[in-house]
Amino acid sequence: METASCSAAAANGAVGSQRDRSLVPERLQRREQERQLEVERRKQKRQNQEVEEEKSDFFAAAFARERAAVEELLEGGESMERLEEAAARLQGLQKLVNDSVLFLAAYDLRQGQEALTRLQTTLAERRQELQPKKRFAFKTRRKDAASAAKVDSAPGAPAAEGILASPPPLKEEGGIGSSWVFGFSNVESQVLEKRAGELHQRDVLLTELSKCTVRLYGNPNTLRLAKARSCTVLCGPVSTSVFLEDCSDCVLAVACQQLRVHTTRDTRIFLQVTSRAIVEDCSGIQFAPYTWSYPGIDKDFEGSGLDRSKNNWNDVDDFNWLARDMASPNWSILPEEERMVQWD
């Protein structure tokens, strides 16, 4: 009896050893497959890195070449023809940056966009220098009309509901932002408008507005909104850049090539942008797709040169948040139920 039991145990042990030996090749084969996959993954990663480096090198060379060409045109910009050529090449430079945002490092992207901003400012200044000087002329004006206008344009005077305000334009010489020369400044509790004929390819500055609604119908070249409080700004397609600085509790609707938001808080932005939006030193910024519309907006989009089918409204770079595995706490996507806005 004991002999039979021993024989059975030996037989079972032999079967178990045979099974273990059969599993060894399977484990080795699995381990080899995993090793091969890891080698392939590292190889692919190295190749991707090399491709990105090649793209970055190409971008750096192309950007430097085109920037030098634009700077040369601006330095010798004694005719509108040269300035228009500079503007066209500057748009090509902006497109180069837009097409490269997916592989550029944040630092390189920032440097490129800052260089573009400087060139765009210089272009605006050169255009202003070449504009014909306004001649002084006396104008006959009824005394009572002048008095009424003076009262209506008094700083801080609230406008009646539904009545458009007509504050004086920004000064063209001296002071901060003198190169922008067009827009509204130091206005409170008013409805402000500019039409397409006034806006076309102009550089627009809105500064120190409080509790205002601003409607900009048309196609500006650039838009800058600074020191605004509790304002709603609705703007047609902007050919190049939009800048927000030191704003709070505002709503902005805009389409543009590039958006830069600095030192701004608690602001909703309805956006169409062909490159990435950038926020810096901000908090409580919410993004949603651009939804404002008005008669003639299709024509304005055509004139702006923007690619209407391309919208990176939710692709945002936060220069104060470098962690790639965690979302920035400084901006977020506006929930869909909060996007239903009555613009008019």
Taking only the tens place, the pLDDT of each residue in 127-149 is 777 766 555 444 444 444 443 33
Structural domain includes residue 213:
yes
Instruction: Assess whether 100 and 200 both reside in one domain.
Output: no
CA gap 205, 192 in Å, rounded:
13
Residue 219 lies in a domain: yes
For residue 227, report the phi and psi dihedrals to the nearest 5 degrees.
55, 45
Three-class DSSP category at 44: helix
Task: Examine the domain organization and report whether 84 and 194 are in the same domain.
Answer: no
CATH code, 299 = 2.160.20.70
CA distance 324 to 20: 45
Residues 112 and 188 in one domain: no
Q: pLDDT > 90: what percent of the chain? A: 32
Domain annotation covers residue 106: yes
- Mean pLDDT is lowest, of 160-169, 212-221, 282-291, for 160-169
Q: What is the mean pLDDT of residues 256-281?
A: 93
The rounded distance, in Å, linking the Cα atoms of 131 and 182 is 14
Q: What's the confidence (pLDDT) of residue 21?
A: 54
| pLDDT exceeds cutoff 60 at 156 | no
Going by pLDDT thresholds of 50, 70 and 90, the confidence category of residue 197 is confident
Higher pLDDT, 320 or 289: 289
Phi, psi (degrees; rounded to nearest 5) at 236: -70, -175
pLDDT at residue 179 is higher than 60:
no
Tell whether 7 is covered by a domain: no
- Assign 20 a pLDDT band (cuts: 50, 70, 90): low
Mean pLDDT of 311-336: 88
Query: Do the domain assignments include residue 165?
Result: no
Q: How many CB atoms lie within 10 A of CB 191?
A: 17
Q: What is the pLDDT of residues 56-70, one digit of tens each?
A: 777 788 888 888 888
Per the model's pLDDT, the better-predicted residue between 128 and 23 turns out to be 128
Query: Which has the higher per-residue pLDDT, 340 or 237?
Result: 237
Q: Which residues pair with 258 in a beta bridge?
A: 241
Beta bridge partners of 272: 255
Domain match, 324 and 252 both: yes
Question: How much is the mean pLDDT over the chain?
Answer: 77
Q: Residue 49 belongs to a domain with what CATH number?
A: 1.20.58.1250
Based on the fold, state whether residues 203 and 312 are members of the same structural domain. Answer: yes
Band of pLDDT at residue 273, cut at 50, 70 and 90: very high
202 in the same domain as 332: yes
User: Beta strands of the chain (E only): which ranges?
Assistant: 183-188, 191-194, 203-210, 213-216, 222-226, 232-237, 241-245, 251-256, 258-262, 265-273, 277-280, 283-289, 316-318, 331-333
Same domain, 117 and 46: yes
Query: What's the confidence (pLDDT) of residue 25?
Result: 73
Q: What is the pLDDT of residue 93?
A: 80
State mean pLDDT over 23-32: 73
Residues 88, 207: one domain?
no
Q: Report how far residue 19's alpha carbon sits from residue 101's, in angstroms, rounded to the nearest whole number.
A: 56
CB atoms within 10 A of CB 48: 11
105-109, 175-179, 334-338, range with the lowest pLDDT:
175-179
Residue 280 lies in domain:
183-338
Q: What is the pLDDT of residue 128?
A: 76
| In-domain check, residue 52 | yes
Query: Is residue 211 in a domain?
Result: yes
- Residues 325, 196, single domain; the answer is yes
State how many domains the chain has: 2
Say if residue 176's pLDDT is above 90.
no
Q: Are residues 116 and 188 in the same domain?
A: no
- In this structure, the answer to whether residues 92 and 206 fall within a common structural domain is no
Mean pLDDT in residue range 275-294: 93
Query: Is 287 contained in some domain?
Result: yes
